[in-house]
A and B are shown apart, each in its own frame.
Chain A
Amino acid sequence: MTLKALFAASATAALLLATSASAAELTVGFSQIGSESGWRAAETSVSKSEAAKRKINLKIADAQQKQENQIKAIRSFIAQNVDAIFLAPVVASGWDAVLKEAKEAKIPVVLLDRDIDPSGKDLYLTAVTSDSVHEGAVAGEWLAKTVAGKDCNVVELQGTVGASVATNRKKGFDSVVAKNANLKVVRSQTGDFTRAKGKEVMESFIKAENGGKSICAVYAHNDDMMVGAIQAMKEAGLKPGKDILTVSIDAVPDIFKAIAAGEANATVELTPNMAGPAFDAIVAFKEKGTVPPKWIQTESKLYTSADEPMKVYDSKKGLGY
């Protein structure tokens, strides 16, 4: 081995060491909203595993649904001089002051899962969120493709009235319905995103629509309502997934059990992995100075029985959903 080669090898090794050391030194503070839903718990646990994968030191502060706790957490992250701050904002407004402090301390802030109001657009590096209008559209397009031009009466289980996710998921689905004359939303009621209400509302839909015979498909704004609706259909002697098609959003583990059992047809994933793309953006920004786009949209993946539902169930069930 020549001296030159040895030198080159040791230089590469040193460089490798240096980069891995710098990645290990990256400390990210994450102000999480709380653990109000299974999805939120999954987001937290996925953030931890994504950080461990990249050898990033992740500090999570649980705000228990309170903005003042989030502001306190961000201030303490600034005081600890972390390399980046992740924020899953509980509300859209009131962040200007604390984000200015972060900016003055030259700490980049990445928003996860939710956006904040436009007055503060220059105060954060990027926002990693899912497009809930797009989620609704993906669900609608699956249905349009599946019924293939046949007439289809759809009943819709909406999320909580006034929740932006519910409004957007409805908007996205409606945009597809508007383009397909064969699709028609015949009934639409709120199921408050819960299993119990989803079941109760579906029971009344079935009775109002000729014992469910005139319903061709159910669209639910989340999987939990669909799990309830599936029970209502079974109790009414209908076969969910066969007599009535189902499509819902979120991709929580229990819907995969239903898909595997042939009782549900499709779900659109709201990925709990918001931190992964955020870490990548931060690493690129810190090492190469790459400024990411203002909005990083996560993928809204569609799952059906063709996607090995039990395997997905097994991979998701440990995440805290």
Chain B
Amino acid sequence: MTLRIPRRGMAQVLALIIILMIDRLVSPQFFNLHLQDGRLFGSVIDVLNRGTPVALLSLGMVLVIATGGIDLSVGAVMAIAGATAASLADTHSLPVVIASALAVGLACGLWNGILVAVLRIQPIVATLILMVAGRGIAQLITEGRIVTFTSPDLVWMGNGAVLGLPTPVVIALGMLLLTAAVVRGTALGLLIEATGGNARASELSGVGTRAMILSVYIWCGLCASLAGVIAAADIMGADANNAGLWLELDAILAVVIGGTSLFGGRFSLVLAVAGALIIQAMNTGILLSGYPPELNLLVKAVVVLAVLLAQSPRLGDLSRFTARWRRTKP
């Protein structure tokens, strides 16, 4: 049998559909929906809602990875932004709170961008600094405790609804459309891909690679801070120790599942978000299944391996090779 290499995006869409079908098998009420306090309620909504932070992170991460970089600090930036928002929530109005949190994210992104684009430090090392220090900064802001708030405006960011959809989902959708409009509606996306494909050639042909790299890290910081605000609003508190912990890895995984190469170059925003949804559909399925928690990570690893193998061009070659080998066998 010859395994045909599927068209771009097919693997991810198929993976998502298969995982949702498996979720339906382990939990018969998976696709049930009803309105609860003006908000849609059901497991599918959970997948979308819980997938929001990683989806937002992956929107920034996919651009960074497209330039051949990586940003390990997004989880820590989430914690700092969440801590900032939670500490201001009860004393300031929502626009001030969000603006401050986003400003923090912007500053973090600028820091990473300067280290990578101007000082030419390798991205993995440059962003590792903020990954480690950032959580400390967040702990300084919260003084090591969980800062809670009651401000209904900020709580709405995490638990409210717009036309029945949870607010975080609407925000993530808006950010996807905005990012897509900016990078695909203009030549920006192409320039980012060129930077990641061959920075030197792009530089020589007049692409401002330094500005490209700087701006993708800033965008990544902004997306991370928005994810941090949503995560804090969701639990009505900022938990500096745990907010966004290890989510940088989920975000990178989402981008990779979305078919963007870690070497940079071609990227897809929609598929990165699909990657985030695949991860979350799997997580929610595991929670619904009732398997013992010891199996969580094992199941996750097997599914991720399967999704990545399905995308591997070599696997297609391999199946052709074995087919030929079988034919030549006497």
Contacts and interface: CB of A to CB of B under 8 A. Distances in A.
Interface of A: 35-38, 41, 158, 161, 187-190, 192, 194-196, 199-201, 203-205, 207-208, 224, 227-228, 231, 235-237, 254, 320-321
A307 to B, nearest CB: 22
A228 B287 contact: no
B293 A196 contact: no
B43 interface: yes
B289 to A, nearest CB: 8
Contact of B36 (A158, A208, A231, A236): A236
A37 B42 CA distance: 33
Contacts of A194: 239, 242
Interface stretch (B183-191, B228-236, B259-267): B228-236
Given A38-B144, A207-B46, A195 B239 contact: yes
B231 A320 contact: no
Nearest to B136: A64
B145 A320 contact: yes
Contacts of B234: 196, 199
Contacts of A188: 292-293
B8 to A, nearest CB: 32
A304 B232 CA distance: 28
Contacts of B143: 320
Contact of A190 (B29, B46, B231, B296): B296
Given A207-B42, A254-B146, A192 B292 contact: no
Nearest to B295: A161
B159 A235 contact: yes
A224 B288 CA distance: 21
A321 B241 CA distance: 13
Interface in B188-245: 231, 234-237, 239, 241-243
Contacts of A237: 36-37
B184 to A, nearest CB: 32
Contacts of A205: 287
Given A204-B43, A207-B27, A38 B288 contact: no
Given A188-B293, A195-B237, 20 more contacts: A37-B241, A41-B144, A158-B293, A161-B296, A189-B287, A189-B293, A192-B242, A196-B231, A196-B243, A204-B284, A207-B32, A208-B29, A224-B239, A235-B159, A236-B36, A237-B36, A237-B37, A254-B148, A320-B144, A321-B145
Interface residues of B, number: 35
B79 to A, nearest CB: 12
A196 B236 CA distance: 10
Nearest to B283: A200
A208 B27 contact: yes
Contact of A224 (B50, B146, B287, B296): B146
Contacts of A321: 145
B235 A207 contact: no
B29 A207 contact: yes
A196 B159 CA distance: 13
Nearest to B36: A237
B46 A204 contact: yes
A235 B42 CA distance: 12
A138 to B, nearest CB: 23
A77 B131 CA distance: 34
B145 A228 contact: no
Nearest to B236: A231
24 contacts: A37-B241, A41-B145, A158-B293, A161-B294, A187-B290, A188-B292, A188-B293, A189-B287, A189-B293, A194-B242, A195-B237, A196-B231, A196-B235, A196-B243, A200-B50, A204-B284, A207-B42, A207-B43, A207-B46, A207-B288, A208-B287, A231-B159, A235-B37, A254-B146
A199 B296 contact: no
B239 A200 contact: no
B111 interface: no
B230 to A, nearest CB: 11
Nearest to B42: A207
A158 B293 CA distance: 9
B152 to A, nearest CB: 14
Nearest to B291: A189
Contacts of B236: 231
Nearest to B159: A235
Interface string B34-62: 00110101110010001000000000000
A30 B240 CA distance: 25
Contacts of B284: 204
